Amino acid sequence: MSSTFWHDIRLAAVSVAMIVILMFVLTSFSVWLTVWGIVTIVLSFPLAYFLYRVVFKVTALGMLNGAAAFVVIGIGVDDVFVFINTFRQASSIRSLPDRMLHTVISAGKATFFTSFTTAAAFGANICSSVR
């Protein structure tokens, strides 16, 4: 089971590499947006691992843990694109602080609710007998 998990992690790393290239292209070749987008996604993994091992005291790694890496990457990239597109669509707002505030409020609501519903769906699996 552990070898399957690490195989999935390697596939996730390849996915991240391909996503970095795609994100670079879709952010209009912005190194700044690409780097910070990937950093925010990658930083979610140590936090999740800390919660998993330290807070919830779970030591076993199951097959769903490897699959979850792909889901986290996908949700993270989607959230990055939502923020970028919301910022670009607010081009009529000339003041940068106002434009950023509009982006954080609008895109923040969208990403919160999509991420919350996904987390709730995964949380519902706690009651599942499949491990």
Q: Which domain holds residue 70?
A: 2-127
Mean pLDDT of 45-55: 88
Dump pLDDT digits (tens) for 18-27.
989 999 998 8
| Confidence (pLDDT) at 13 | 83
Residue pair 36/50 in contact by the 8 Å Cβ criterion: no
Percent of the chain with pLDDT over 70: 98
Band of pLDDT at residue 131, cut at 50, 70 and 90: low
DSSP states of 97-123:
HHHHHHHHHHHHHHHHHHHHHHHHHHH
In the chain, the number of structural domains is 1
